Amino acid sequence: MTAFHYDALPGRVVFGAGCSTRQLEPELQALGARRVLLVVAEQERALADKLIAPLGTRVAATFTDVRQHVPQATVERVLAAARAADADAVLSIGGGSTTGTAKAVALRTSLPIVAVPTTYAGSEMTPIWGMTAGGRKTTGRDLAVLPKTVLYDPDLTLSLPSSITVSSAFNAIAHCVEALYGPGANPITSLVAVEGIRALAAGLVPVVTDLHDSAARSDLLYGAYLAGTAFAAAGSGLHHTICHVLGGAFDLPHAPTHAVVLPHVAAFNEPAVPDMRRAARALGSDSMADGLAALAAATDAPTSLRELGMPQDGVEEAVRVIMQKDLSGNPRPLTEGDVRAILGAALAGRPAAVEAYATAAPTR
């Protein structure tokens, strides 16, 4: 067995259908929360209102101005709301952008977060924060932003539209794939990541056929939980670097961008990551790139950055910014030309294939 280290992160997880209605108040009580700031996107306000009804005056204020990629202006507004309410805890109900907004408060104030995710973003399981200013997305790692408690209720995802379900699930799969080769990758993160991929794949195809398949929804949420856990310990790599640059520079939708870019980064890195073949078998394939392509075809996942709004001339700007990042930890050395090839293929929506990068830099 290869020597490794693994840092288990603190936090409590409550998983089960209906747990958000049964357990939300007791979990806040356990944290001693008396003046809660609710963070929720406007489109999920009705759902949140039902969940918080038993809390009464415990919810001191509500912030609904959630924006993807957490712009700096949003950070300032949510911090002002927390201060005005004299909040002693933050309750996040929603997807990754909502969790990210709550994390912005915790980063500056160290207030505890209780997260109730309604998508498969996985941010609720990580100590990673992200904010955008001046067209650039900055990320960091701080235990202060890791939610103290996460309530995973599959019932809350039953109304998630197909397009959001698919792209969000691919976002979760991206966390699993990066956990196979991130800077902190180890046998434990790989084990969790492979099981996460299996659960996500098992849930995604039937959900596309029946959005109200509760068993499949449970598989997806379970897989998303595992994905966030693995990613939190292993850390991010090339794929997330690319997606964060694209999101910050062009305001591309977060989860669909992951769905488009992931097969191409997987195809590039696959020859240098032995665990990727084992993980690919969870997709019923001998190749991660091929397995992802088949899953995308079966679920009508997005495949082109152009369709998401990226301009043709945006590739060069993105390459320039990406090459300014520290990519030395990638399992396979890559050049400016390699990054350009990955982005060009993703922009055009060309099929991802390991053979397309055969002439790139050799594996380490």
CB 15 within 8 Å of CB 148: no
Report d(CA 218, CA 239) in Å as an integer.
26
pLDDT at 12: 97
116 and 26 belong to one structural domain: yes
Q: What is the pTM of this model?
A: 0.94
| Across 39-43, 135-139, 243-247, least confident range | 135-139
Q: How many domains does the chain have?
A: 2
Percent of the chain at pLDDT above 70?
98
Q: How many CB atoms lie within 10 A of CB 289?
A: 26
- Which of 111, 129, 157 marks a domain boundary? 157
Report d(CA 298, CA 293) in Å as an integer.
9
- Please, which residues have CB within 8 angstroms of residue 155's CB and are 6 or more apart in sequence? 17, 18, 20, 214
79 falls within a domain: yes
26 and 101 belong to one structural domain: yes
66 and 197 belong to one structural domain: no
In this prediction, residue 364 has a pLDDT band, given cuts at 50, 70 and 90, of low
Return the CATH number at 338.
1.20.1090.10
For the stretch 167-191, pLDDT in tens is: 999 999 999 999 999 999 999 999 9
227 and 309 belong to one structural domain: yes
Secondary structure, 3-state, 74-131: HHHHHHHHHHHHCCCEEEEEECHHHHHHHHHHHHHHCCCEEEEECCCCCHHHCCEEEE
How do 36-39 and 12-15 pair as beta strands?
A: unpaired
pLDDT at 6: 85
- Which of 125, 157, 189 marks a domain boundary? 157
230 falls within a domain: yes
Distances (CA, A) of 299 to 25, 102, 346: 37, 31, 18
CB 185 within 8 Å of CB 7: no
264 falls within a domain: yes
339 and 207 belong to one structural domain: yes
Which tokens in the block code for residue 302?
Answer: 């997005």
2 falls within a domain: no
Longest CA–CA separation in the chain, Å = 63
6 falls within a domain: no
pLDDT at 2: 76
| DSSP annotation string for 267-314 | HHHGGG-HHHHHHHGGGTSS-HHHHHHHHHHHHT----TGGGT--TTH
For the stretch 202-219, pLDDT in tens is: 999 999 999 999 999 999
199 and 312 belong to one structural domain: yes
Return the CATH number at 123.
3.40.50.1970
Distances (CA, A) of 116 to 51, 125, 210: 10, 11, 23
For the stretch 60-117, pLDDT in tens is: 999 999 999 999 999 999 999 999 999 999 999 999 999 999 999 999 999 999 999 9
In this prediction, residue 301 has a pLDDT band, given cuts at 50, 70 and 90, of very high
pLDDT at 8: 85
For the stretch 72-86, pLDDT in tens is: 999 999 999 999 999
For the stretch 222-231, pLDDT in tens is: 999 999 999 9
62 and 33 belong to one structural domain: yes
The pLDDT of residue 347 is above 80? yes
Segments forming the whole domain that contains residue 301:
176-357
Which tokens in the block code for residue 13?
Answer: 């997880």
The pLDDT of residue 363 is above 80? no
pLDDT at 3: 85
133 and 192 belong to one structural domain: no
Which tokens in the block code for residue 251?
Answer: 């305001």
In this prediction, residue 142 has a pLDDT band, given cuts at 50, 70 and 90, of very high
81 and 219 belong to one structural domain: no
pLDDT at 1: 65
84 falls within a domain: yes
Which H or E run contains 197? helix 187-209
In this prediction, residue 362 has a pLDDT band, given cuts at 50, 70 and 90, of low
197 and 106 belong to one structural domain: no
Mean pLDDT, rounded, of the chain: 95
- Which of 129, 157, 185 marks a domain boundary? 157
181 and 302 belong to one structural domain: yes
In this prediction, residue 309 has a pLDDT band, given cuts at 50, 70 and 90, of very high
The pLDDT of residue 361 is above 70? no
